[in-house]
Amino acid sequence: MSEQVDAAWALLPDYLSQHVLLSAAALGLGLAISLPLAVLAARSPLVRWPAVTFAGLIQTIPGLALLALFYPLLLALSGFTQSAFGFHLQALGFLPALLALTLYSMLPILRNAVAGLTGVDPAVREAADGVGMTRAQKLFRVEAPLAAPVIMAGVRTAAVWTIGAATLSTPVGQTSLGNYIFSGLQTENWVFVLFGCAASAALALAVDGLLGLVERGVARRKALPVIAGAVLLLAGVAGAAIPNLLHATKPTYVVGAKNFSEQYILADLIGARLTAGGAQVARRDGLGSAVAFRALEAGEIDVYVDYSGTLWTNVMKRTDTPPRAELMTQLTAWMAKEKKVTVLGSLGFENAYALAMDRKLAGSLGIETIADLTAQAPALTLGGDLEFLSRPEWASIEKAYGLNFGKEKSFNPTFMYRALSSGDADVISAFSSDGRIAAQDLVVLSDPKGAVPSYDAVILISPRRAKDRRLIEALQPMIGAIPVEAMRKANYAVDRDKAKQSPAQAAAELAKATNLH
Amino acid sequence: MAEPLIAFQTVSKLYAGQPAVEAVTLDIPAGQFVAVVGASGSGKTTLTKMVNRLVEPSSGSVLVEGADVAASDPVQLRRRIGYVFQGVGLFPHLRVAENIAITPRLLKWPQPDVAARVIELLDLVGLPQAYADRLPDQLSGGERQRVGVARALAARPAILLMDEPFGALDPITREALGRATRTLHDKLGLTTLMVTHDVQEALLLADRILVMAGGRLLADATPRDLLKGHPDPVVAALIDTPARQARALSALMGAGA
């Protein structure tokens, strides 16, 4: 427990400073767009209705989806700018997070600013005209100061929202306090989850307090609280920016990881090997499955681990299931030719979608293969992870064996394994390298008809690193070096409830066990 | 006769097709204190606001110092015409001194001149210098309107427009402020156009009274002439009320003596 807390504290400077910079930039950009828009909207109902409606509509999109939507949008835009102007737009990381959060921050600022500006007493407005003010003078000397307290209240709301929503920028590859939450959820490290929530809440409260000070100063027309609040806020942003500027040495390599334990461990292992070779390594963690490959293709990450069967079905769009070695050969050739992506080789284990059962239950029902399930399925309940039931692999198994389960339920992976012991599910969609298979004494049902492709864990290298000898030489020893038992053990060390290890610790032990250190 | 300072030439104003002011023609020579009286909606405020282009006429023209205001920059025009607003119209976020100094500052007077002018104006409208740092909501209604008058006069305008300036004040404050305004008018050689619904106030302060109803100018005469009677029954009824009250009051005072 205290080890995990120490690990969390060690990551705080990086996560917090990135979180602060992202939120501050989004809020600043949000203000720069919303305030002029609010002035126009306050003057013209023709602008007001569409502007406020649009900002309101944005607010109805779940934060995570909004962030995710910017990735394909920027990727398409990046393709355009690359071909039209020859520069590459960052589709992953800071830019999509910034744009999504900026949109998110607009509603409270816009709504309050419009309310504040239109709420100025018409008599006062007429007096401003009557004493001979121009429109700009009226805005800056009369309307804006009178609306300022209402506008500031909106800015406070926007700041709290932005800081909260910034935790969602982890899956698009931007480091934030959300890294604690996302990696904690995946590895069941509740200390990390709580730490991330607490840190983000503390940041939001601190910023809200300082903006509250500014707001009170503005409302009472006292300069001191306004200056004090503004200075402290700027000092906080500067404090976050300075270490980032000092460490502005560009990372040599960017290592990607999808959003589950094995990916974190392998990314740590790859990172450690590159760092040992003297390279600077940056991480993009918690990427969605499709996002990760496209990011590699676009050169936003340099290396990550994917699975041959996933690439086969999702990227190559193939539905046939050739034997393991044949699939690897075809995949490697296709990737090199079509995507200029290097498949360095298999790490030596598979992480396949497999159906698993409790060993005792399987024994008593006489089930050894998926084919044995066909007759008994109507009396059994299938538990799948959140995406399994909609994946082509399941459709393929279902069809090949004519499975017709009595019930089908979806679970978060953690709860899926628990459902097996509590009897809420009889058969689950397990990952073959999952440490819980051994720990819970489960039996993995074999696939005699070969309905599911093989899932060799492979190292992928981005097109622009294809000839990078330093990278390739550092990673080459990993090929064929990790047996499935070693990977299961490392995964379990991270996933188990007691004596949990961090992915980095598990990676270090895995390296020792496989002579990769 | 000298050129009139303000001239209305068949000026009309329509709001949504309804006439608020209908074909008004009149000249106001420099130095006159003119009161515009009439019921609510008679067009008296609209008529006044057309002088500094807070309202634009639908037809006809308004001339100030012989020039059509439609051809002048409204911002510059308003900076040289004092305006006292109905209610108060002070800027609630600015201190008394800042409110008074607003037009001189817009005209970019040198700072020492502005400061001196604020001191001078506080004296002129009879407010203590200590009030300079107060916010409008720390003042009484009468004090606020004194600030309003000071603000209107700050840039030394030749013309003072007043829209129901004392409407919200108690009778004693109202009478004192009215007399103070008339004194200022005489002392500064202003040309004043004051809108009021209080006929008695108009009769006691003004040199000339305009009676309006339904957007039309029904009467244009000195208080003395109006008190002698008027052929228009609306005008006669309007003037008759204060006259009757005055007679009743003097009878009462005679009986008590």
Q: Does A221 touch chain B (CB under 8 A)?
A: yes
Is A386:A186 a contact under the CB 8 Å cutoff? no
CB atoms A127 and B90 under 8 Å: yes
Residue B2 DSSP code: P
The alpha-carbon gap from A111 to the nearest alpha carbon of chain B, in Å, equals 22
Q: Does A122 touch chain B (CB under 8 A)?
A: no
Give the residue extent of every domain in chain B.
1-76+195-257
Q: Which amino acid is at B40?
A: S
List the Cα angle A188/A189/A195 in 5-degree steps: 135
Q: Does B89 touch chain A (CB under 8 A)?
A: yes
Report pLDDT for A353.
82
Q: Does B134 touch chain A (CB under 8 A)?
A: no
Q: Does A124 touch chain B (CB under 8 A)?
A: yes
Q: Quick one: tokens of A131?
A: 């004493």
**Nearest residue in B to A220, CA atom:** B93
* CA distances, A430 to each of A322, A411, A416, A436, A440 (Å): 21, 12, 9, 9, 12
CB atoms A130 and B52 under 8 Å: yes
First to last CA, chain A: 26
The alpha-carbon gap from B116 to the nearest alpha carbon of chain A, in Å, equals 19
Residue at token pair 């006929």: B199
3-state secondary structure B20-41: EEEEEEEEECCCCEEEEECCCC
- Per-residue pLDDT tens digits for B38-56: 988 899 999 999 999 999 9
Report pLDDT for A352.
85
- Which parts of chain A have pLDDT scores under 50? none
Report pLDDT for B256.
54
Percentage of the residues of chain B whose pLDDT score is greater than 90: 74
pTM for the structure as a whole? 0.75
Chain B residues inside the 8 Å CB shell of A141: 91
Q: Which residues touch B254 (CB under 8 Å, ≥6 apart)?
A: none
Q: Does A126 touch chain B (CB under 8 A)?
A: yes
* Residue pairs spanning A and B at CB distance below 8 A: 50
In which band, very low, low, confident or very high, does the pLDDT at B255 lie, cut at 50, 70 and 90?
Answer: low
Report pLDDT for B137.
92
Domains and CATH numbers, chain A: 2-246 (1.10.3720.10), 253-351+454-513 (3.40.190.10), 353-444 (3.40.190.120)
CB atoms within 10 A of CB A251: 14
Of 3.40.50.300, 3.30.420.40, 3.40.50.10490, 2.40.110.10, the CATH number of B1-76+195-257 is: 3.40.50.300
Report pLDDT for A249.
62
Q: Is the pLDDT assigned to residue B1 strictly greater than 70? A: no
Chain A residues inside the 8 Å CB shell of B92: 121, 124, 146
- Per-residue pLDDT tens digits for A404-444: 898 988 887 778 888 888 889 999 998 888 888 888 889 98
- Per-residue pLDDT tens digits for B104-149: 999 999 999 999 999 999 999 999 999 999 999 999 988 999 999 9
Residues A341, B58: Cα–Cα separation, whole Å? 74
**Nearest residue in A to B162, CA atom:** A130
In this complex, the residue of A123, A131, A141 whose CB is nearest that of residue B87 is A123
Q: Quick one: tokens of A4?
A: 């995990």
In this complex, the residue of A130, A133, A145 whose CB is nearest that of residue B93 is A145
Report pLDDT for B257.
47
Pairing assessment for the beta strands A442-444 and A353-358 based on DSSP bridges: antiparallel
Identify the residue among B73, B99, B106 best suited for mutation to test binding to A, counting A beta carbons within 10 A and taking the highest. Answer: B106
3-state secondary structure A299-320: CCCCEEEEEHHHHHHHHCCCCC
Output A371-376 pairs: Cβ under 8 A, ≥24 positions apart: A371/A401, A371/A448, A371/A449, A372/A445, A373/A401, A373/A403, A373/A427, A373/A445, A374/A401, A374/A402, A374/A403
Residue B88 DSSP code: -
The alpha-carbon gap from B167 to the nearest alpha carbon of chain A, in Å, equals 15
Is A26:A166 a contact under the CB 8 Å cutoff? yes
